[in-house]
Structure 1
Amino acid sequence: MKKNITLFLMLFFTVLTFAQKTISGKITDDDGVAIPSASVTIEEPGKDAILAYGITNSKGEYKVTFTSGESNVDLKVKAFNQKPLTKQINNSDQTLNFKMQSEATEIKEVQLKTKMITARGDTISYDLKAFNSKNDRTLADVMRKIPGIEVNKDGTILYQGNAINKFYVNGKDLMEGGYGTINNSLPKDAVQKVEVLENHQPVKILQDKVPSDQAAINIKLKNSVTMTGRGEVGVGLEPFLWNVKLTPMFFGQKSQWVVNYKTNNMGEQVENEGNILAFGSSWEGRRSNISQNNWLSVENASVPDLPVKRYLMNSVHYLSANYLTNIDKKKEWELKANANYTNNAVERESNSITRDIQQGTQYTTRFLNNFYTDKLKGELIFTKNAKKGFFKNTTTFSQFWNADRAVAERNDKTGYRFGNEALESPTTSFQNSLSTIIPWKEKMVNFKSYISYQDDRQTLEISPANYLQFPYRDSLKGPLKTIDFAPGSTALQYFRIKSLDTSHSANISFTTKGWTFTPQVGFDLSTDNLTTNFDGSTVNNKPDFAGLAYENDLKFTRINPSASVGINYKSESWSLFSSFPVNFNNIKAEDAFRNVSKSLSKVTFTPNIFAQYSFASFFKASVNAGISNNFGDIQTAYAGYILTSPGGFNVMNPKNPIPETNTKNGGLRLEYRNPLNNLFFNVGYRLTDTKNNLLASSAVNELGFSVIEYIESENKRTNNSLYVEIGKYFPKFKTNASVTFNDTSSKSQSRRNDQDIDTKNNGNTLGFKFNNTYFSWMSIDFNMTKSWNKQSNGIIQNDLGKTESYTHNLNVFFYPLENHTIGFYWDQINSKLGDTKLNNGFFDVSYQFSWAKKKVDFELKWMNIADRKVFERINVGDATITQTTMQLRPSQVMFTVKFNFK
């Protein structure tokens, strides 16, 4: 790893400093009138490769920075109705002015030929027609083929390996980060081009003052007023299957809306489309995906590393509506209303054989689950985003009525045991986030306020209770014994937590000569009230569940005043974002039941910095570093036993101090994106070092049941990662290809059955993506990932800790006749541990007829042709090796009608 770091640093600083030169000047015509929008390119003599380029501004001025080892370079100037100009110049910093000769252009025939990728400033535009294939129907289908852009399985869009911060349609942010619905359902025929807005600052008043290192996506539609959308209706066998998708959309100049209803029982996951995938800027306030405090859980069947459609046994209904409208004549104020409702039932099954290497034992488990989700969310947002001011208020309400069920079976040295498990978990949640930026003379004043209240109640029931076999000790260092529950009795774990979180801050910003200074004061207050109780009957009353050891009545309070100064800089080449906060942490945990009171008062300094330098037109080099502190939360402060899962109790030692975690991180990154030759790459290195004062110590019996306790012991975790990604589009062959490589290593500490475990992990992953639409009769999409991992900790070592995996997804489409498509799909997932090799292959085939005039598709698809029933996988833990068999969807046939709303 040290060699990798050294090589990366050499590459990073060599490219940054080697032979970097700048040419600037002014371009005019014969009369001395400035020529705007003229292109200036730098090329190496005798080579058809552009090193750098620039565009003249309205005054005819240009500036081009480039890197070359040649002694001379060619400078070329082109402008409409002007004679092209070429001059060989020295490779040195200089100022060159040019006069161009007028040359009238006789246009015999007007032909418009749009470039597939164009760049202007920080905006890169992709012509969608250049990347689509005959089988593509939606925006997401095409975006997966664009160089420099990736679309993850959850719908997240990455540009140059990083998540975007905004997703616009015609410049408007209708979805507020939950863009999965539009990406998956917007017909490609409605889109003119996709724009990447690099270094995008979404708050207009902060543009050119506070830089950003993230990019945004803007979808430009063909028409300024567009009524469109996508629909599907499908039925299938066996058993009876259905799949309905109805997503009409409207995009106007004043208002936009999307209505989405999707339901299916054929394994398609649609309920997460409303998740927030882009979080914008922290200046906009606080936004997050609302989730439950899931402390308790039933035992869960394992999930295979496969596309969801292969294993998800579901019955889902998902309904969402998003609406945006301007409420003033200047179109500065926007009102957004978003709502969604989910009703989902999921069935899951897996069988496992677990070998405990530390104890030399083995046991088998079988879990059959039914998960029921009932969730409602509503959101109201008022926004003003203008050059002269900013205001945003977001109010969110969520309600969950979730329930989980499990049938668990175990076979170990004591014989066969069976248990029914049930969890009820209703949750009520409310948040309000306010942020406003007010201009004051040459300054800006920003106020932010955030309030969140959440009430979680959970009840976990296990029957019969003698399914449970937990370890315990009569004394601190006594031998492990097993709790014997009364046969036929029921075990109940009650849990409730009420959480209030508030955060308020004010700052004022001063801007001068590209520098912005932002002093800020803030005050955060949060309180959590936790009450729990465990009820169960044991043989001989050992241990006594009626005692205080199995109850909690804890109040956890955090008060955190803070003061900070932000220093930002923005120029043509440099971007700097830094913050230097001082936090006055005051934490108190009180449990009246056991007369426990813990407190912490500590001042911390947690600076962070990001700096980026753009050079040679196509390169960006950046460095970032930061320090953070976390002093735990109520999950690390309770002192009574909680049955978090039928697999084990969790407990905190009441004598432990408040948990403290200190994290230091730093990274380097080099980016190259050249739309002139369709080449994109990025390489980076990241180091993270984390120190804790508490260590997880687990007592695990021979049956696999455990009690996890956190003990006071300083421990450390480190993680190093080196990554490289390179992608290129070959227009002559209509091919997009990319290669990725990751090298990661980590070290961590834990304790199991009084044995200290120092775990080392080293992993390498190679990825390859390829798609081709060169042939009129065929198109190919191929994705491959190969991984190697080695783990060692004194228990898992030698070949036991070496694993390999291989995954590929191949989609081939044939077009034998006009409007006819035959599709072939192949998913392959292989894993290896020692001499054990598990190969899992899946095949689908489809036929589609397109009624071109009506833009309607009729598809017949046969999935899982081989009718593979189960998926096998090997997992390596700290001290265990588990081989798991997971239930899959059976072979099924679907007939679907697909259409556009228009």
Structure 2
Amino acid sequence: MKKLPLLFLLFSAASAPAQDYSGHVADKEDGTALAGVIVTATDTAGHTAGYTTSSPSGDFRLVPKAGSDVARLDFSMMGYRRQSIAAPGERVVVLMTPEATDIREVTIRAPRLSFRGDTVSYNVDRYTEAQDRSIADVLRKMPGIEVAASGEIRYNGEPINNFYIEGMDMLDGRYAQAANNIAPQDVARVEVLENHQPIKALKEIAFSDRAAINLKLKPHAKARWTGTLRGSAGWSPMLWNGGLFAMRIGAQGQSMVTLKSDGTGQNPASETDRFSVEDILNGGANSYDPPAHLAAGISSAPLDDSRTRFNRSHLASVNNLRKLSADYQLNSSLAYGYDRLASDHTSQQSWQLPDGVRTDTEQESATARRQELTARLALKANTEKFYMQEKLEANLSWNDIRSALRGSYPNRQRADAPAYGLENDLKYIRRAGSRSLTVTSYLKYLARPQSLEVLRDTGLQRQEISDRGFYMNHNAAFGTQAGRFAFAFKGGVAALFRTLDTDLSGTGLSLPTANDLSTGYAGAYLQPGITYRAPRLRLTLDLPAGYRRYRLHDRIAGTQSPAGLFTWKPRLAAKWSPSGRLSLSASGTIGRDAADDRTGAGAILQDYRSIVCGVGEYLQALQRSLSAGITYKNPIGGFFTNLLVLRSWNDRPFLPTQQFDGDYIVYGSERRTNRVRTWYFSGDASQNIDALNGQAGVSVSYNRSDMEMLQEQVPTPYQTSTLTVAPRFNFRFAAWLNTEYRLAYRYTTLAIRRRSPDARHHFDQRLTVNVIPAKQWIIQLTGEHYYSQLSARQGKHLLLADASLRWKANAKWEVTAAVTNLLGRNEYAYTLFDGVSSGSCRYAIRPRNVLLGASRRF
């Protein structure tokens, strides 16, 4: 009997299950969970004791064969380095390193694109080339993403609504500071968040068709200061370009510092421009930007800025974001920009008048100095039940312009155009279940004390302007859901109080040359809306309506002109998504918006020859539009395309007028229906071409407008149209050779009734070839070809070439030598249409420049 317990113990030991092994597998560079990793258990004799694969969440559980003496676990997956660890005694986390896998001369790496839910993820390393210095350079090569010359980013044809770094919005729409400076080596993935609603409390209540971009950084770029220090200098004339960019992205806060100075044609201050779409809560009503009074300034040519800008530019910018708690964050920014520009251009302007053609010539040498100071402080909370934002922002700018002109009307101009603005934006949202309450308040004060002096042989003309305005918009909204329906009921009040004092002397015109006005309005509005949302269909009906009481007090004329106007503009929109890849949309609107607030009978001199007269009454336009669009994406296949067609009919209450009065052109308006008809079409398609390690795409747009002008008291109907076709591609033919090509072709026409139409062809193309003869060396050759049709029988070609050599001493240091405008060209000519006139212009371009520099990443 004593042997039975011993036998029982031996049997139990032999039949006991082997130890389980569990853990989590992730990408070492960005922490992404890895699915499908093969996990193999190997015993002490080198035999396989069992295997499994990781789940979509990256987790695994392996049960070896009974009785196995497991010595190690092996982890393998295509695109990653094979890894082995000793048999663990507890749950483990395994980080795998991406690595190319050679199989019979075929290289398999981590995918360029992945797609999960509403998130498209781009693998930055797969799109980065040796010459790329910023994440913006890489974004331009990603299918579906467009980066405009201004820095604005679009996804599948639509502007993005937010730009995040590690899920936090530090820059409030000024994202060019990040895109143009963050090194691609610091970014693991670019995530596109489709249909992104940034306010968590409004999810499933307020819907968005816009996308956001989120940069996921690599581990080495988190929680520490990273950035770049650059400096370079050259000659012909004296040149310099330098700057410091530093950022620290942590879990509890983010900081970014930018210091730049340039004399090579770049404009660092443009990085502080804000790119934003319509305000989600107030539909774009949170802004008041009256038209500019003065038009004197530096003329620009349709060339890259670095070709035509003779500049001295500086930028200092500091951005900070701090998490005060899990729900609250504090944003602050301070930026100062200085830009001094000089230009030299010649133009010939022709007006198609009822009795013939009038042609004037102009040779201008001008200098402009612009300074801008911007400060912002914002407190934000963003949770699923509560949202709050309090933002205070100040914008101060000073613009000083000096110019000397020869030609038909020789003169000297001096313009001072400062503008001071202060705004406060408050948003509060409380959500309870399917209901939400929203309160917003927006206030803005703007002052523009400006002046213009024109010195002619006949004397001095002087324009003095004092323009002040206070704008406010307050509203409350209630939202709720009932099944598939979402209801929104919004109401509010808006008001504008404005004073305008102007005085023009020395012109000898018979027109009134002074304004002393108090103007503005106060009104209330309602904006009910309903949205039906099915799994694949969304229908939206908005029914905005309001009433405004306008007041115009003209102290010079001693009159007051009140007016009461109703506004209404219903909109019906539909979006159908038969699959996750395809979406079709359509919308239609009809109604009357608010009246134009550009009032005043007195003339304002905008530059040495352009005089604008305001409108002395409040009238509305009848607006109608229909649009249809289609978007398709196949992220795994790397294909994105979008199309948009828009047709609009606007019956405006005023007909624009143009009349010559001695040396001046007087622009005004006459109370007469002005029917404007417009066609607009745009489309874009881009495709990954993995066989060539690159992307190809094409953008097409067409715009045609039919309108009318009263010219020299004669009604002049005319039509303008522009067709643009812009193919592009970037390919890597070999590890040592890659190239990028872009072409922009434009065909513009001007057709005036009872006259022969005039048409012009323009195109510009750019080819960049990068040669990497060794790992440390990069040779870049760039050629640009411009063609402009100056007349029916004459065209002009311009060929420009640049070259640069970069030596990467190590992972941090780089030395650069660059030569721009190798061929020594000195001018660019082109023709454009402006209303019923056409102009031929010639601009001086920067001469041959030589630049030597160095940079260090840290």
Contact 2:309 2:343 in 1 (8 A): yes
Could you say which residue in structure 2 is the equivalent of 1:779? 738
Task: Note the C-alpha offset of 1:290.
Answer: 9.0
Aligned counterpart, 2:703: 744
* Alignment match of 2:140 (pick from 144, 154, 157): 144
SS across alignment from 1:282: coil
Amino acid at match of 2:338: N
Preserved CA contact (<8 Å) 2:655 2:673: yes
- Counting only pairs closer than 5 Å after superposition, residues 245-256 of structure 1 correspond to structure 2 as 245-256=243-254
Decide whether the 8 Å contact of 2:205 with 2:479 is kept in 1: no
CA–CA separation in structure 1 for the residues paired with 2:525 and 2:750? 41
CA distance in 1, matches of 2:360, 2:417: 30
Q: Which amino acid aligns with 2:375?
A: G
8 A Cα contact 1:866 1:891, kept in partner: yes
Aligned residue type for 2:490: Q
Using the alignment, how far apart are the partners of 2:532 and 2:358 within structure 1?
Answer: 61
Distance in 1 separating the partners of 2:477 and 2:359: 60
Aligned to 2:394: 397
Matching residue of 1:462? 454
Let me know the Cα RMSD of the aligned residues: 2.4
**Pair 1:679-2:671 in alignment:** no
Find 2:779's aligned residue among 808, 817, 822.
Answer: 822
Specify the alignment match of 1:769 in structure 2: 728
* 2:517 maps to 1:520: no
- Structure 1 pair 628/291, CA: closer, same or farther in 2 (3 Å)? same
Matched, 1:448 2:443: no
Q: CA deviation at 1:732?
A: 2.4
Change (3 A) 1:365 1:795: farther
8 Å CA contact 1:528–1:634 kept in 2: the answer is no
Alpha-carbon distance in 2 for matches of 1:230, 1:569: 50
For residues 312-327 of structure 1, the aligned pairs below 5 Å read 312-327=309-324
TM-superposed CA distance for 1:701, in Å, is 5.2
- State the 1:589 CA deviation: 1.3
CA distance in 2, matches of 1:807, 1:674: 31
- Alpha-carbon spacing, 1:773–1:750, altered in 2? closer, same or farther (3 Å): same
Q: Who is 2:189 aligned against?
A: 193
Q: CA deviation at 1:795?
A: 6.8
Q: Determine helix, strand or coil for the equivalent of 1:142.
A: helix
Equivalent residue for 1:154, pick from 111, 133, 150: 150
Match of residue 74 from structure 1: none
> Within 5 Å, which residues of 2 pair with 1:767-846?
767-794=726-753, 797-798=756-757, 801-832=758-789, 833-846=791-804
The CA distance in 2 between the partners of 1:839 and 1:702, in whole Å, is 37
Q: Tell me how far 1:659 sits from its aligned partner.
A: 3.3
The answer for the alignment partner of 1:497 in structure 2 is 467
State the alpha-carbon separation in 1 of the partners of residues 436 and 760 from structure 2: 55
1:648: Cα distance to partner? 2.4
The equivalent residue for 2:235 is 237
Q: Secondary structure at the match of 2:225?
A: strand
Change (3 A) 1:462 1:795: farther
Whether 1:349 and 2:344 are equivalent positions in the alignment is: yes
1:676 maps to amino acid: I
CA deviations over 1:663-705 (Å, ceiling 9, x no partner):
22221111110112111111221112221111111112586x3
Equivalent in the alignment of 2:566: 603
Whole-angstrom distance in 2 between the partners of 1:124 and 1:186: 20
The one of 232, 254, 257 equivalent to 2:255 is 257
Cα separation, 2, equivalents of 1:425 and 1:240: 29
- Retained in 2: the 8 A contact 1:688–1:719? yes
Aligned mates of 1:784, 1:502 — CA distance in 2: 45
Name the counterpart of 2:22: none
Query: Which residue type is aligned with residue 852 of structure 1?
Result: N
What is the DSSP-based 3-state SS (H/G/I as helix, E as strand, rest coil) of the residue aligned with 1:209?
A: coil
Could you tell me how far apart the structure 2 residues matched to 1:140 and 1:392 are? 29
1:641 aligned onto 2:598: no
Unaligned runs of 5+ in 2: 1-34, 36-51, 56-62, 66-72, 81-108
Post-superposition Cα deviations, 1:264-317, rounded to whole Å, max 9, x if no partner, equal: 11100111111111347422897989978630233x453211110000011011
CA distance in 2, matches of 1:254, 1:713: 60
Q: Once the two structures are superposed, what CA deviation does each residue of 1:425-457 show, in whole Å capped at 9, x if it has no partner?
A: 232211001110012464211001011111110
Moved more, 399-408 or 118-127: 399-408
Which secondary structure does the structure 2 equivalent of 1:114 belong to? coil
1:360 alignment partner, SS class:
strand
Residues 349 and 367, structure 1, Cα contact 8 Å, conserved in 2: yes
Which of 528, 553, 571 in structure 1 is aligned with 2:516?
A: 553
The 1:877/1:256 distance shift into structure 2, 3 A limit, reads: closer
Q: For residues 611-664 of structure 1, what are the alpha-carbon distances to aligned partners after superposition, in whole Å with 9 as ceiling and x for unaligned?
A: 3222233111111223453443442x201122222112222465xx32322322
In the alignment, the residues of structure 1 paired with residue 853 and residue 417 of structure 2 have an alpha-carbon distance, to the nearest angstrom, of: 37
Question: What amino acid is aligned across from residue 494 of structure 1 in structure 2?
Answer: E
Contact 2:384/2:431 (<8 A) preserved: no
Report the CA distance shift for 1:363/1:563 in structure 2 as closer, same or farther (over 3 A): closer
Pair 1:757-2:757 in alignment: no
Which residue does 2:676 correspond to in 1? 717
Q: Do residues 883 (structure 1) and 845 (structure 2) align? A: no
Letter matched to residue 817 of structure 2: L
- Work out whether 1:216 is the aligned partner of 2:212: yes
Structure 1 gap ranges (5+) = 1-55, 57-78, 83-101, 412-416, 467-486
Aligned residue number for residue 699 of structure 1: 659
Deviation sequence 1:224-266 (CA, Å, 0-9, x none)? 5343222321101012111012110010001001011111111
Match of 2:809 in 1: 851
In 2: Cα distance, 1:617 partner to 1:536 partner: 66
Q: Is the contact made by 1:246 and 1:260 (CA closer than 8 Å) also made in structure 2?
A: yes
Q: Which among 126, 130, 134 is matched to residue 130 of structure 2?
A: 134
Do the aligned residues in 2 keep the contact of 1:736 with 1:770 (CA within 8 Å)? yes
Q: Taking structure 2 as the reference length, what is the TM-score of the superposition?
A: 0.85
> Post-superposition shift, 1:768?
0.5
> By how many angstroms is 1:894 displaced?
0.6
Are 1:202 and 1:281, in contact at CA under 8 Å, matched by a contact in 2?
A: no
Output the CA distance in 1 between the equivalents of 2:285 and 2:784: 36
The 8 Å contact of residues 122 and 191 in structure 2, kept in 1 or not, is answered as: yes
Q: CA 1:278/1:515 → structure 2, altered by over 3 Å: closer, same or farther?
A: same
Question: 2-side partners of 1:537 and 1:797: how far apart?
Answer: 36
Supply the AA of the counterpart residue of 1:364. Answer: T
What is the alpha-carbon distance in structure 2 between the residues aligned to residue 276 and residue 244 of structure 1?
23
Distance change (3 Å), C-alpha of 1:698 and 1:596: farther
| Deviation by residue 1:392-451 (Cα, 9 ceiling, x = unmatched) | 11101122222111112223xxxxx53111112232211001110012464211001011
Per the TM alignment, residue 362 of structure 1 is displaced from its structure 2 partner at its CA by 3.0
Is structure 2 residue 330 aligned with structure 1 residue 360?
Answer: no
In structure 2, what is the Cα distance between the partners aligned to 1:500 and 1:671?
41
- Whole-angstrom distance in 2 between the partners of 1:758 and 1:734: 51
State the distance in 2 between where 1:859 and 1:279 align.
38
Please report the TM-score for the alignment, with normalisation by the length of structure 1.
0.81
Query: Does residue 121 in structure 1 map to residue 117 in structure 2?
Result: yes
How far apart, CA to CA, are the structure 1 residues paired with 2:290 and 2:683? 36
Q: Structure 1's 667 and 291: CA in aligned 2 closer, same or farther, altered over 3 A?
A: closer
Q: Deviations over 1:132-170 (max 9, x none)?
A: 111112111111100111110011111111110000011
Displacement of 1:582 in angstroms is 1.2
C-alpha change, 1:746 and 1:362, in structure 2 (3 Å) is: closer
CA–CA distance in structure 1, aligned partners of residues 805 and 319 of structure 2: 34
Q: Which residue of 2 aligns with 1:47?
A: none
How far apart in 2 are the matches of 1:361 and 1:746?
A: 24
Letter in 1 for 2:148: N
CA gap of 1:380–1:719, structure 2 versus 1, over 3 A, is: same
Calculate percent identity across the aligned residue pairs.
20
> How many residues matched?
760
Change (3 A) 1:292 1:587: closer
SS at match of 2:125: helix
Task: State the partner residue of 1:410.
Answer: 407
1:727 match: 686
